[in-house]
Amino acid sequence: MKQWAEWFYNSDAWVATREAYLQSVGYMCERCATRSDPVMAKIAHHKTYLTSDNIHDANISLAWANLEALCQDCHNREHHATERVQRYKFGKGGDLLPLPPVDG
């Protein structure tokens, strides 16, 4: 979670909105769940991503029309599909080098 959004995701308004929305769709992933393969959604994803500029706009941050119930796999694909994380790096002598911290 981005530091600038912590207050929002910990707010009573978001917690209540998230819970009500997930309950309204039966806690099923709206992308991959089917009747024969129900996949539980744990994330209320914002279709229009939240930014430090729009997070205060309830029509974006709290509107059900901007939410989608997703399982962890679908949410990861949404946000990290094109991202390649470098997990390790080697020096000239073959020794493992530390990577700089990743900004989140």
Asked whether residue 38 carries a pLDDT value surpassing 50, the answer given is yes
In a domain? residue 104: no
In a domain? residue 92: yes
* Whole-prediction pTM: 0.76
In a domain? residue 17: yes
Mean pLDDT lowest for which of 27-36, 49-58, 70-79, 85-94?
85-94
DSSP state of 92: T
Beta strand 67-70 pairing with 96-97: unpaired
Question: What is the pLDDT confidence band of residue 104, given thresholds at 50, 70 and 90?
Answer: very low
The total of structural domains in the chain comes to 1
Distance (Å, whole) CA 33 – CA 86: 31
In a domain? residue 102: no
Owning domain of residue 23: 3-97
In a domain? residue 90: yes
